[in-house]
Amino acid sequence: MNAISQQPEDEIDEALAYHQGDVRATIAALLAEREFLLREIEYASLAMSYGFARGWKPGTGSTRQTTAR
């Protein structure tokens, strides 16, 4: 299945299968990946000049709204 047509439920099932159904291990891995990505954003923010970004700096807070299931 290509990434464009992949549904969120499929991605959840894939993540759980990768960790042999261990929900805690799956969540721990996702949180670790999130921390890594936040550090990468912070490093990119430090490396970007004001002119390159036209004043914009990446934030670490989530601006996306999530829908409850």
Whether residue 41 contacts residue 58, with contact meaning beta carbons closer than 8 Å, is answered with yes
Could you read off the pLDDT of 3-19 as tens digits, one per residue?
A: 567 687 899 999 999 99
> What does the pLDDT look like over 15-67, one tens digit per residue?
999 999 999 999 999 999 999 999 998 888 888 776 776 766 667 665 544 44
Alpha helices in the chain (DSSP H): 8-18, 23-47, 50-53
